Amino acid sequence: MSNNDKKVILTGIRANNDLHIGNYFGALLPMVDMAKKHAGEYQINMFVPDLHSFTTPIDHRKLQEQIMRGLKIFVAAGLPLDDDNVHIYRQSYVPAHSELTIILNSFAGFGEMSRMTQFKDKSAKLGGERVSVGLFDYPVLMSADILLHGAEYIPVGDDQSQHLEFTRNIAERMNNKFGDIFVVPKTVKEQHALFNKDQGLRIKDLSDPTKKMSKSDDSGKGIIFMGDDPAAAAKKIMGATTDNEAAVQIDSVKQPGVTNLLQILSLLNKETLNETAARYKDATSYGELKKDVAGKVQEFLTNFQQKLATVDEANLIQKLESSEKLMNQTANQTLLKVQKAVGIR
């Protein structure tokens, strides 16, 4: 299980993506809140999946800088580094992840990997570029990440549910063949029950509010990055797409742009969407709403970037190194059991 016999919750911190406010409110903040909420009862393993980061093409010269920036963003968002139940580590600093992947490959089926929806989607997006074996093999490495540390709970999005089911399958397959060597993660349904998964507010693109905010927006006008100049971000809000309905109300079909602005404001104000909308029930234009959202976004980014600038890097590295020492001990214990089971030790 884990060194302190607490059940393990494992989650990954993106290594190489520019985070935007959609990532912040939709994934990063819930992850930090989850760590704070469950750290007393569970061991929280939060790792940087740096080996996963180049299964599709990246600029490798920027990877180290992006890893550290991503970790600092989590600290600035409130990740408690002083909690002994919270561990942060880099995947590649625990070599057992790589070795267990090689072993598991011989027990994973080509057909299983070929059916993975995320592989099909990401392969299609690469167009004429080479599709790497690493991308094809992604679910096996993800399984190694989970199984090495005996993680029962892994808060994954819908796009990763298939990978989690594969992890359960290969763990049971190995246990049936070799005896009890792996802790089998809980089902997707049980995961959702613990994390109270709700399909809540999803921030949309400012230019095209029918699609989610994504870094693939080439113009940059529809996306607000965490590193954007706060004043420039406010201008993006003022230029956001709305409509001609002349009413401020929640209607994601007829008024997706207005609904998106209300969602952003409700998240920044830490209130319900209905509470936010109620303040504009008599409005017949969107000027006041845009001005309020723009001001809040500017204030939020200014405050967050100030926090980010004061993150103690030495303290962060010390936490990384102590966590990685502990994670290597746990992972190596599991790896040795597998090595003995398959006959190479």
The residues assigned a catalytic role are 122, 212, 215
How far apart are the C-alpha atoms of 336 and 144, rounded to whole Å? 13
261 in Cβ contact with 290 (< 8 Å):
yes
Adjacent-strand bridge partners of 123:
none
Q: How many Å apart are CA 260 and CA 240, to the nearest integer? A: 10
Provide the residue count of the chain. Answer: 345
DSSP one-letter string for 118-187: HHHHHHHHTTTSPPPHHHHTHHHHHHHHHHTTTEEE----GGGHHHHHHHHHHHHHHHHHHSS-SPPPPP
Q: Which residues, including other chains, have CB under 8 Å from residue 100's CB and lie 6 or more apart? A: 144, 147, 148, 331, 334, 335, 338
Q: How far is CA 31 from CA 45, 66, 201, in A?
A: 11, 19, 15
152, two tokens:
């029962």
Name which of 57, 56, 58, 51 is nearest 140 in CA terms: 51
